[in-house]
Amino acid sequence: MIEINLLPKDLQRSRFHVKLDKNLVMVLSGCVALIGVMAIYSYFFQARTLSMLDKKLAISRAETAKYTSEIVKIDEISRKKEQILSRMTTIQLLDKNREYWVSLLGDLADRVPEYVWLTSIRQAAEATPVTQATPNTPVAAQPTTIASGSRSTLEGYSFSLNAMATFLIRLKKSDYFANIEIASIKLQQLEKADAYNFKLNCDLVTPAIENVDIQTAQAANTVQNQF
């Protein structure tokens, strides 16, 4: 339809017309198409990479499940090996200290007075060797050490405090015990008789041992003698 505007030019409604160059339109269309192609390629590339990773993960899980029993067996063998080595170290320590423990228990038995008896001797579970000189004793021919850190203990009973005091005096004269302290004393009824249950903390003077890891052996096993 043909429209004729008879109004003056200053009153005529102006119209906005946008004209785009054909070359610009083609360039913009090409850019949009290129971006779309790149987006599609990136999506498929990422999907393919993710699929490959999922396959590798599935293969790794299958291999792990396949060798789980072997891994458990290897861990069990390693644990048993550590236990055997620990026991061997302890046996070496006890073998080299055999004469020492016989002498220590013999010395201790001679110092226990009447009306006193011991129930247990427990060596410190952890020890740090500290060099110390000792008087002339059967074990003094070798360098000696005092086990420090956690304390060794003596436990027992006494029918009287005087007998307990006698035992402490005799024990302090021994070359096998040092830094003796009373940890606890409790009066208890033992077989229809009153007796003092006591616990003593002390350091054991032990001979130095070469080529044996004393700390590992003592940490693995606590040497306890009851008589």
User: Among candidates 82, 128, 106, which has minimal Cα distance to 175?
Assistant: 106
Q: Is residue 69 scored above 50 in pLDDT?
A: yes
Q: Is residue 136 scored above 70 in pLDDT?
A: no
For position 10, what pLDDT does the model report? 61
For position 199, what pLDDT does the model report? 94
Stretch among 9-23, 146-160, 189-203 having the lowest mean pLDDT: 9-23
Question: Residue 48 — pLDDT band, cuts 50, 70, 90?
Answer: confident
Q: What is the pLDDT of residues 83-99, one digit of tens each?
A: 998 888 878 777 777 78
Stretch among 20-29, 49-58, 78-87, 211-220 having the lowest mean pLDDT: 211-220
139 within a domain of the structure (yes/no): yes
For position 70, what pLDDT does the model report? 82
CATH of the domain at 137: 3.30.70
DSSP, res 213: -
Spatial separation of the C-alpha atoms in residues 86 and 105, rounded to whole Å: 25
Sequence-ordered list of residues with C-beta below 8 angstroms from that of 162, at least 6 positions apart, any chain: none
How many other C-beta atoms are found inside a 10 Å radius of the C-beta of residue 201? 16
Q: Is residue 217 scored above 60 in pLDDT?
A: no
Q: Which residues pair with 145 in a beta bridge?
A: 131, 206
Q: What is the pLDDT of residues 137-193, one digit of tens each?
A: 444 344 444 444 468 899 999 999 999 999 999 999 999 999 999 999 999 888 778
Q: Is residue 38 scored above 80 in pLDDT?
A: yes
What single letter denotes the amino acid at residue 1?
Answer: M
Mean pLDDT of 102-109: 90
For position 123, what pLDDT does the model report? 84
36 within a domain of the structure (yes/no): no
Percent of the chain whose pLDDT exceeds 70: 70
Own/partner contacts of 36-40, CB < 8 Å, gap of 24 or more, are: none
User: Among candidates 200, 130, 126, which has minimal Cα distance to 158?
Assistant: 200
Mean pLDDT of 120-136: 57
Domain around 194? 93-225
CB 145 within 8 A of CB 121: no
What six digits make up the tokens of 115?
């009306």
- Helix (H) / strand (E) containing 90: helix 68-96
- What is the overall mean pLDDT for the chain? 76
130 within a domain of the structure (yes/no): yes
105 within a domain of the structure (yes/no): yes
Mean pLDDT of 205-221: 50
197 within a domain of the structure (yes/no): yes
For position 195, what pLDDT does the model report? 92
134 within a domain of the structure (yes/no): yes
43 within a domain of the structure (yes/no): no
69 within a domain of the structure (yes/no): no
Q: Is residue 221 scored above 70 in pLDDT?
A: no
Owner of token pair 């054991």: 204
Spatial separation of the C-alpha atoms in residues 29 and 34, rounded to whole Å: 9
| Count of domains for the chain | 1
